[in-house]
Amino acid sequence: MAEEKALLSVLRGEARKIPPLWLMRQAGRYLPEYRDVRATTTSFLEFCYSPKKAAEVTLQPIRRFHFDAAILFSDILVVPDAMGQRVSFESGAGPRLEPIETPQQVERLGDFNIEHLAPVFETIELVKSALASDVAFIGFCGAPFTVASYMIAGQGTPDQAPARLFAYRFPDAFGKLIDCVVDASIAYLSRQIDAGVEVVQIFDSWAGVLPANEFMRWSAEPVRRIVAGVKARHPQTPIIAFVREADAHLPMLTQTIGADAYGIDTALDPVWAVAQTASDIVLQGNLDPLALVAGGDALDREVDSILGAFKGRPHIFNLGHGILQQTPIENVERLVARVRRAGG
């Protein structure tokens, strides 16, 4: 029998001397080959919906760095796009959506049209057929609060104040929007699994701005519902929950939402995370992306500190957030070499 893929074995709870390694946003602008493909498309959304090009950039970091997992190249905002909300990406300015400002606009949202995302599922099939047998394949979606925050503000904001105010003023309408995104996310992740991904990750990039009661209502509980919904359809598929800047909530999250692994962000002390969670909980993270930009001895120290903190328990080595555009390729090579020497 072929040896189980490293990422999948850790997600089953195995502690490996050399942890599996992948990086959030590993397919991106720090790679010249990515920039070459991106230059052939007129918009980012067109790029996401171009299966051959999206498959190519999904595979590029695997060819260059031999990571233990590929992650689908797409964007969390394809879900509101498939719900009929107008979505675009402006160069240098990020996503732009037609903002939702009233409860009536929530009511007017269309049903989630999963067939609109057929190009994404075609991308998955193309990547799956090209991946090496030892490389796992990760799909993903945005968590409901994060997706809703873009849908309401119409763009990214530093503190997600538009979505938070909407939730306070119109809790019923905000709850309906969250419900719509939960249902769409369950269907979307399930179709990704049907198409060939082996693991899925839920990204809640903005949950950390919520106070405790609102965090439970609008972040933790919707993520729990997605996990339960996907598990009901695909009980054997591992799920990673990455709830950024929700550090004090980590012990509660690991006990309540039912994921197979939990991503931790840069700010969280891994020693604390290990002490506050059961020894069989799989944790992922949490190198500072700026340490990867800096390289040299600073990078080595941070890598060694993380490896030491997680020694003896199931751990997936990753960043605490996405890789930055200015990251030197040689620093990524240095990171990979240092992690892979951990078992030597």
Reported as a pLDDT band with limits 50, 70 and 90, residue 335 is: very high
Q: Are 244 and 283 in contact (CB under 8 A)?
A: no
* d(C-alpha 20, C-alpha 315), whole Å: 8
Q: Are 171 and 209 in contact (CB under 8 A)?
A: no
Task: Find the catalytic residue in 38, 96, 233, 340.
Answer: 38
Clarify whether 75 is annotated catalytic: yes
Q: Is the pLDDT of residue 287 over 60?
A: yes
Question: Is 48 contained in some domain?
Answer: yes
Clarify whether 34 is annotated catalytic: no
Q: Are 19 and 308 in contact (CB under 8 A)?
A: no
Dump pLDDT digits (tens) for 208-245: 899 999 999 999 999 999 999 999 999 999 999 999 98
Peptide bond into 318 cis (omega under 30): no
pLDDT at 3: 80
Q: Is the pLDDT of residue 334 over 90?
A: yes
* d(C-alpha 161, C-alpha 209), whole Å: 9
Q: Which residue has the higher pLDDT, 90 or 7?
A: 7
Clarify whether 38 is annotated catalytic: yes
Task: Find the catalytic residue in 29, 64, 334, 338.
Answer: 29
Question: Is 318 contained in some domain?
Answer: yes
Structure tokens at 143: 């968590």
Question: Is 1 contained in some domain?
Answer: no
Question: Is 204 contained in some domain?
Answer: yes
**Residue bearing tokens 């991946």:** 131
% the chain with pLDDT above 90: 94
Please give the single-letter amino acid code of residue 220.
Answer: A
Clarify whether 35 is annotated catalytic: no
Structure tokens at 328: 């030197």
* d(C-alpha 23, C-alpha 289), whole Å: 10
Q: How many domains does the chain have?
A: 1
Task: Find the catalytic residue in 68, 75, 260, 265.
Answer: 75
Dump pLDDT digits (tens) for 239-251: 999 999 888 899 9
Q: Is the pLDDT of residue 76 over 90?
A: yes
Q: Kindly state the average pLDDT of the residues 137-144.
A: 98
CATH number (domain holding residue 33) = 3.20.20.210
Count Cβ atoms within 10 A of the Cβ of residue 157 and give its class: 0-12 exposed, 13-18 middle, 19 or more buried.
middle
pTM of the predicted structure, to 2 decimals: 0.97
Q: Is the pLDDT of residue 150 over 70?
A: yes
Q: Is the pLDDT of residue 47 over 60?
A: yes
Closest by Cα among 334, 326, 262, 276 to 301: 334
Average pLDDT of the residues of the chain:
96
Structure tokens at 307: 């490896």
* d(C-alpha 141, C-alpha 119), whole Å: 15
pLDDT at 223: 98
Structure tokens at 194: 């049907």
What is the extent of the structural domain holding 18? Answer: 6-343
Q: Kindly state the average pLDDT of the residues 157-171.
A: 95
Reported as a pLDDT band with limits 50, 70 and 90, residue 45 is: very high
Task: Find the catalytic residue in 30, 34, 49, 150.
Answer: 150
Torsion over CA: 176, 182, 188, 190 (sign) = negative
Q: Is the pLDDT of residue 1 over 70?
A: no
Q: Is the pLDDT of residue 91 over 80?
A: no
Q: Is the pLDDT of residue 169 over 60?
A: yes
pLDDT at 344: 59
In angstroms, the Cα distances linking 32 to 24, 54, 250, 328, 331 are 17, 15, 36, 11, 15
Bridge partners (DSSP) listed for residue 64: none
Clarify whether 300 is annotated catalytic: no
**Residue bearing tokens 């040689």:** 330
